[in-house]
Structure 1
Amino acid sequence: MNNLINDNLYKTRNDLIKEIALLSDDQFNSKLDINSWTIAQVCHHLVLVEESSIKAIAWGLKEIESTQNERKKVDLILLDRTKKIKAPKIVEPDVKPFEVQQIIDLLNESRKKLMTFLSTIEDKSVLAEKSVKHPALGELPLDQWIEQIYLHEQRHIEQIKEIKLLLDARQ
């Protein structure tokens, strides 16, 4: 895996932790309205996406068929927040409240699992050769599955910033 992806995973996760670390548990679990997620739920969703991505990449690596597909402009799709993307059931967050530290621990665990898993892949070039269908992005090369983790996180960091502003405005 190249250093740019590693750096982006690291930087984006640090940015996320900075956004949530100083929130009270009340702020963390406050809903703007009945149909929106709390900041805690957004973060739980990110944990679930990271864990699901590991499973998808592992599954794709086991496939014998090499289904090289064209590369997508994942950044343009994921960073465009004017287009709503419905979360598949498997990555919908829990409705129960979370503590900030509890979510930080879950985020750290999922990232450790990802990095450990990626370190076990001997021939990283295979990541660009095999693909798996992504629920929102369609058929996606495995290396772009890794890329979508931090891009998806960047998308939700912007959402968290908006939620924080709106929560502040209500007080």
Structure 2
Amino acid sequence: MNVIDSLEMTRSELVEEVHAIPVDLLTQKPAGGGWSVMEILEHLSLLEARIVKGIEASLLAPERADLRPAPLELVKDRSRKLQAPSQAEPSGRYHTLADALEALHGARQRTLEALASSIGTDAMDSHGFDHPAFGPMSAKQWVELIPLHEARHLDQIREVAADLKSGS
């Protein structure tokens, strides 16, 4: 499966999942702490927008010789906790599911527009920027990370929704 298909498939699953959650549960935090579903959606849109800005900037910068393949499969491992960058921390800016989904859609549109002329080119392999846990990653790997990151948080959304439904 190519990365564009992965982006579309994961987003479709995410949207389907959040539409199945009762509206009154979307802003509730799980009993044990953590983000609400709306906060997770906000985080996803913020982080994807940040990744795209990084990719765009890296493609304009000189090539990097220090890029190494990152173990991206670890992204989906929810037993490994990572701190979100401050720019991707949710702040409660979305009050409706429609607003959150619109932000996600906007971030994805910017991603697809940014990739339109670069995806599949050598530039995606030779340009990149640093990941806080994995170190220097190519622009290609950053794109591959987006659906994996979204799948990680889709699992989190499922956990939060199950927790809230069982506690309500």
TM-score band w.r.t. shorter chain: over 0.9
2:40 match: 42
After superposition, the Cα gap between the structure-2 partners of 1:97 and 1:31, relative to the gap in structure 1 and judged at 3 Å, is farther
Shift of 1:64: 1.6
Amino acid at match of 1:78: V
Q: Is the 8 A contact 2:71 2:134 kept in 1?
A: no
SS of structure 1 residue aligned to 2:92: coil
After TM superposition, give the deviation of residue 24 of structure 1 in Å: 3.5
Matched, 1:93 2:105: no
Q: Deviations over 1:31-77 (max 9, x none)?
A: 114841100000100001110001110111111243352211212x2
C-alpha change, 1:71 and 1:168, in structure 2 (3 Å) is same
Structure 2 Cα separation of the partners of residues 136 and 156 of structure 1: 17
- Per-residue Cα deviation, 1:126-162 (whole angstroms, up to 9, x for no partner): 1011221012322111100001111000000000000
Aligned partner of 1:146 in structure 2 is 143
CA RMSD of aligned residues (A): 1.7
**Aligned runs of 1:20-39 on 2, under 5 Å?**
20-33=18-31, 35-39=33-37
CA distance in 1, matches of 2:94, 2:120: 41
SS of the residue corresponding to residue 95 of structure 2 reads coil
Which stretches in structure 1 are left out of the alignment for 5+ residues? none
**Equivalent pairs: percent with the same residue?**
26
Aligned residue-pair number:
168
CA distance in 1, matches of 2:150, 2:120: 26
Q: For 1:85, what is the secondary structure of its paired residue?
A: coil
Q: In structure 2, how many angstroms separate the alpha carbons of the residues matched to 1:113 and 1:143? A: 16
Residue in structure 2 matching 1:73, options 49, 71, 74: 71
Which runs of 5 or more structure 2 residues have no equivalent in the other structure? none
| 1:83 to 1:159, Cα distance in 2 relative to 1, 3 A | same
Q: Aligned equivalents of 2:154 and 2:27: distance in 1? A: 16
Aligned to 1:11: 9
